[in-house]
Amino acid sequence: MSESAAADIAALSGIAQLRLAMSGEGEIAPIAETVGFSLIEVEEGRVVFEATPTRAVYNPLGTVHGGWMATVLDSACGCVVHSMLSPTQAYTTLELKTVFHKALTAGTPVRAVGRIVQMGRRAAFSEADLRGLDGKLYATATSTCLVMER
């Protein structure tokens, strides 16, 4: 991406940046390709990611590593905050708490839904859950983010 294109994207609101990335016209974070998830829905205060883990992310016990689930949930918690930002704002995660409810196995498609709990001038609070397409709950997360002017 050229410097001028990056500057043009930086001048957009958070929701506009996410919509552009989702359409394929903007650049999605490289972690999405590495971990294997896609942003499939976005609106102010709500995002949805979809993924299907493979055996490549297994832990020694033969299930999906908690770090994989935490990464998908962290992205949902962060991007939902991103969806609320003005063009002059940025954020960074201060805290992420993840709770694992059920073991996840390769080939199980999941969705991570992120929601804003509260958006303030300096801090944002978000939550996300990771569920199978059948509604089975695998993990949840809450996040606190620092909101700042660029």
For the cut 60, the answer to whether the pLDDT of residue 5 exceeds it is: no
Range of the domain at 14: 3-149
**CATH code: domain of residue 124:** 3.10.129.10
pLDDT band of 25, cuts 50, 70, 90 = confident
Task: Write out pLDDT tens, residues 104-119.
Answer: 999 999 999 999 999 9
pLDDT band of 24, cuts 50, 70, 90 = confident
The whole-angstrom separation of Cα 68 and Cα 29 is 16
Would you say 12 and 79 are in contact if contact means Cβ atoms under 8 Å apart?
no
- Report percent pLDDT > 70 for the chain: 95
Would you say 104 and 62 are in contact if contact means Cβ atoms under 8 Å apart?
no
Task: Write out pLDDT tens, residues 28-73.
Answer: 789 999 999 999 999 999 999 999 999 999 999 999 999 999 999 9
Is the model's pTM score more than 0.85? yes
The whole-angstrom separation of Cα 35 and Cα 113 is 17
Structural domain count, the chain = 1
For the cut 80, the answer to whether the pLDDT of residue 3 exceeds it is: no
Total residue length of the chain: 150
In what side-by-side order are the strands of the sheet with 89-100?
A: 37-43, 46-51, 110-119, 123-132, 137-149, 89-100
Radius of gyration of the chain (CA): 15
